[in-house]
Amino acid sequence: MLKRVPALQTIIVGIFLFTAITVAQGSAEDRITHEYKVTPTTKMTDKEKQSLSLAASELLRHVNDARVDIKYAGGKTAAAHVAKALSLEKIIENALPEYQVSTVIKSGNLTYKNEEKRRQFIVPMYGELDEFLWTGASVKRPKKWAGGKEALEPSGDAEVRFTRTFLDVRDAKHYLEQTEDALKKNDLESADQALAAIQEHVISEYDEVDLPLLAARRSLMEAARAAADQKYNEAKQALKNAAEALEGYRAQMGDEVSKRTQTLAEEIKTLSDTLDQKKEGAVEVITSFWERVSNLF
């Protein structure tokens, strides 16, 4: 089951994920044709993308913490959370990549051409980075989680369902500034409504096929934490869990993906079996596994 991103946003999100995009459509018989080309002027490394994702997740955490404070503590620390969220928005906006976009649309003797630079404002997030847990109710009604009380008071057994989550930082900035103004006037209701709007504008996708990848990625995060704390038995088990999850994913995919997944699963299992002899640098190796699993989505 998938909650799809609107078409225009899908194109923009696609820009972020790929090096370049060229879309051409039309034949000699078509009454209208188009060509759409996107070329990045700056490239982001995997670590930069991870940092951007963490910043967006932290921004949302401060939004939720501000709402919790407004609800239960009369807004005593809400302004501080909003200030931190705005600071993160500025950091994100400063790091956003830029793209050269070329568009040509033709119909008969009529032609539209446009070239301009655009920025990527929709930022993908990795849920594990700040322990995002999604409730069963939110799986069926993601909008309810985003703007409803489940965001403040999650209940029931937590399940990881969303495989891709995106934040539009332009929306976030707009509503954070509204929240800031409302808090200065001590208008807690309006402040909470503006914060809720940020949560409502989170774009979420989920797909049952990708659940093994989520399980693998989360197990690798647990393994990295355990290795960092020198809890090597726990790290070994988490690595084995990650390898098993990847084996489950491999069985569902085509040959090319299957081979890459099998190789990665075998490397993870090998580290699990030899971790006692390879403790030094283990956290970095496990983190590299996490990044490779993320690239399988």
The first and second tokens of residue 137, run together, are: 């109710």
Task: Indicate whether 209 pLDDT > 60.
Answer: no
Task: Indicate whether 235 pLDDT > 90.
Answer: yes
pLDDT at 121: 85
pLDDT at 9: 41
pLDDT at 118: 84
The first and second tokens of residue 159, run together, are: 């399940």
Task: Indicate whether 208 pLDDT > 80.
Answer: no
Residue of 165, 160, 128, 158 whose CA lies nearest to 287: 128
Are 119 and 99 within 8 A, CB to CB? yes
- Quickly count: other Cβ atoms within 10 Å of residue 189's Cβ: 9
In this predicted model, what pLDDT tens digit does every residue of 66-78 receive, in sequence order?
A: 999 999 999 999 9
Confidence of residue 8 (pLDDT cuts 50, 70, 90): very low
Pairing of strands 122-125, 162-168: antiparallel
pLDDT at 265: 93
Gap between the Cα atoms of 86 and 84, Å rounded: 5
Instruction: For residue 131, give Cα distances in angstroms to 17, 38, 126, 127, 230.
Output: 23, 34, 9, 6, 21
Interval 241-268 mean pLDDT: 84
pLDDT at 39: 85
- Better pLDDT: 82 or 117: 82
CA end-to-end span of the chain, whole Å? 15
Mean pLDDT for the chain?
78
pLDDT at 232: 92
Highest mean pLDDT among 7-21, 34-48, 92-106, 144-158 belongs to 92-106
The mean-pLDDT minimum among 165-169, 235-239, 254-258 falls in 254-258
Gap between the Cα atoms of 77 and 54, Å rounded: 22
pLDDT at 14: 44
- Better pLDDT: 2 or 255: 255
pLDDT at 90: 97
Gap between the Cα atoms of 153 and 133, Å rounded: 12
Gap between the Cα atoms of 54 and 189, Å rounded: 29
In this predicted model, what pLDDT tens digit does every residue of 16-29 receive, in sequence order?
A: 444 455 555 555 57
